[in-house]
């Protein structure tokens, strides 16, 4: 079983919890933008935000990867955004895992904030698209790693 490290190192094991999703089949660009948006939010507010993104009620603002991304209604300070449903669904799973870890440790889940949220590209796996006349074309699918750390503010 491989051991993964976290990109954040100064974690207090008594007041903070962490969770990660490794090699998730989502866009690392969309996951990065979602993590940038939910960092600093309360746990319940972040879960509500991700539910709204899944229902396509609230767009995720795209700050870095915004080339050829359309404008969306309801964004403040940023003009480009998307409804990244698949990435929001997977990040919500990781967030619920972190909440379960907090309940297991006996922490107050009403007072938890997202202290650290990061997403970065994982391994590339080779896949093939069938083409005409019995041929195929290769392409690479990039997987994504998602890390979340919850703790009290301060």
Q: What is the CATH number of the domain that holds 58?
A: 3.90.470.10
**Is residue 36 a part of any domain in this protein?**
yes
Band of the pLDDT at 25, cuts 50, 70, 90?
very high
Owning domain of residue 95:
17-151
Flag whether 132 is in a domain.
yes
In a domain, 52, yes or no: yes
**The residue count for the chain:** 154
pTM over 0.85: yes
Residue 7 lies in a domain: no
Task: Say if residues 137 and 128 touch (Cβ distance below 8 Å).
Answer: yes
Residue 121 and residue 61 in contact, taking contact as beta carbons nearer than 8 Å:
no
Structural domain contains residue 10: no
42 located within any domain: yes
Q: Rounded CA gap, 88 and 80, in Å?
A: 17
Q: Is residue 4 part of a domain?
A: no
At residue 154, the pLDDT reads 67
8 Å CB contact between 151 and 99: no
5 assigned to some structural domain:
no
Which of 67-76, 100-109, 120-129 is predicted with the least confidence, judged by mean pLDDT? 67-76
pLDDT > 90 in the chain, percent: 83
Stretch 73-97: mean pLDDT, rounded?
94
Over 70: is that where the pLDDT of 1 sits?
A: no
pLDDT tens string 26-76: 999 999 999 999 999 999 999 999 999 999 999 999 999 889 999 988 888
Number of domains in the chain: 1
Which residues fall within 8 angstroms of residue 71, CB to CB, at 6 or more apart?
79, 80, 81
């Amino acid at each position: 079983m491989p051991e993964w490290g976290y990109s954040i190192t100064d974690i207090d094991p008594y007041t903070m919890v962490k969770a990660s999703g490794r090699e998730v089949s989502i866009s690392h660009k969309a996951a990065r933008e979602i993590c940038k948006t939910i960092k600093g939010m309360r746990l319940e507010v972040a879960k509500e935000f991700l539910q709204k993104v899944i229902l396509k009620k609230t767009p995720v603002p795209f700050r870095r990867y915004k080339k050829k991304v359309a404008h969306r209604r309801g964004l403040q300070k940023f003009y480009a955004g998307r409804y990244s449903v698949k990435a929001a669904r997977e990040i919500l799973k990781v967030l619920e895992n972190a909440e379960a870890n907090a309940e297991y440790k006996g922490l107050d889940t009403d007072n938890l904030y997202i202290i650290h949220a990061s997403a970065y590209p994982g391994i590339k796996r080779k896949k093939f698209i069938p083409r005409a006349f019995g041929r195929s074309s290769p392409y690479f699918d990039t997987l994504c790693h998602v890390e979340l750390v919850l703790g009290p503010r301060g």
